[in-house]
Amino acid sequence: MRDELGDLSTFLVVAEERSFTRAAARLGTSQSAISNAVRRLEAHLDIKLLARTTRSVSPTEAGEQLLATLRPALSDIRQQITLLAKLRERPSGTVRITTSRHAAQTVLWPAVDAVLARYPEIQIELSIDGALTNIVADRFDAGVRLGESLEKDMIAVRIGPDLRMAVVGSPDYLTKHAPPKTPRDLIAHRCINLRMATRCNLYAWEFEKAGQTLNVRVEGALIVNDSTLAIEAALAGRGLACVIEDDDLHEHLASGQLVRLLADWCPPFAGHHLYYPDRRNLSPAFRVLLEELRARAQQDGSQHDEQTRTRV
């Protein structure tokens, strides 16, 4: 097929130039190569396309019929190639990302908003899902998860700052129950359990202090699978909640609606990472979003070195 297309293009130039010599000069090749291409095409089609004399070259009737089809077809191909080149120059297309709700709201959305404002040809799909997703099988360009929850054999780029967990309760709840002084005291409290989609079970509250690590499985009347609901329940006095510390939580703490507990047992941990399967063959649209996330992480002081997580 490749040879046939080349021979057809050569035939078109010869017919337009009406000369093997001029066609060879236009195509930057030898006259014998031009002659061989036309001869090969005529043999393949089993019909004479050019009438040759010592002074001129002209299309036969069959050659004229072929030219009538060939000219618009090759012109359309050239136009499409030009359009593809423009696509490379101007990022466009769809970028699909699977992400947790927290990452989408705190890290992804500001970058997505900026990219869409600058590049109207780009379409971005954010799929909110707390579970670990096989981004290759599900045709996602990338995923965003916490550093401890990344898929293996992926390129990972840190796009957010360190995070901390926060144990919180309402003043009303704490007037009726003595605030815990150590994580072990939580066993005596009503707590709002969080079912983790990434682990398929209830989240064991994790604590660390002075090299001592404690995982506490709490009890309570309420189980949710969304940290926003856990905060709402804590505000309503339904128990203590353990959620990621962020701006929304800070507002509740600053207003006195919630009280923070066991802060010295909640050290920072690796924040949100963007992960994708291969650093090669990234679409221009995905590269634009990746660079926007990197730039914002750098402004925020986050470490965003690219690393490969290998399967152990």
- In order along its 312 residues, the chain shows pLDDT tens digits of 556 788 888 888 888 888 888 888 988 999 899 889 889 988 988 999 889 877 788 899 998 898 888 888 888 888 888 777 666 667 888 999 999 889 999 999 999 999 999 999 999 999 998 777 788 888 999 999 887 666 667 889 999 999 999 999 999 999 999 999 999 999 999 999 998 766 568 889 999 999 999 999 999 999 998 899 999 999 999 999 999 999 899 999 999 999 999 999 999 998 999 999 876 778 889 999 999 999 999 887 655 445 544 432
Q: Are residues 48 and 171 in the same domain?
A: no
Q: What is the pTM of this model?
A: 0.64
Q: Are residues 207 and 110 in the same domain?
A: no
Q: Are residues 144 and 281 in the same domain?
A: yes
DSSP letter for 263, please.
G
CA angle 226, 103, 245 (to 5 degrees): 70
Supply the CATH number for residue 103's domain.
Answer: 3.40.190.10
Q: Are residues 276 and 259 in the same domain?
A: no
Q: Are residues 265 and 276 in the same domain?
A: no
Distance CA 217, CA 13 (A): 79
Q: Are residues 29 and 84 in the same domain?
A: yes
- Give the domain range for residue 114: 93-157+271-310
- Provide the number of structural domains found in the chain: 3
* Spatial CA neighbour of 240 closest among 264, 267, 225, 218: 218
Q: Are residues 261 and 188 in the same domain?
A: yes
Q: Are residues 36 and 84 in the same domain?
A: yes
Q: Are residues 257 and 218 in the same domain?
A: yes
Distance CA 103, CA 272 (A): 7
Supply the CATH number for residue 181's domain.
Answer: 3.40.190.290
Q: Are residues 102 and 234 in the same domain?
A: no
The alpha carbon of 8 is separated from its chain's Cα centroid by a whole number of angstroms, namely 41
266 Cβ contact list (under 8 Å, min separation 6): 164, 165, 166, 167, 207, 208, 245
Distances (CA, A) of 244 to 52, 105, 205, 206, 269: 82, 13, 11, 12, 11
Percentage helix, strand, coil for the chain under 3-state DSSP, each rounded to 5: 45, 25, 30
Q: Are residues 143 and 207 in the same domain?
A: no
Q: Are residues 294 and 152 in the same domain?
A: yes
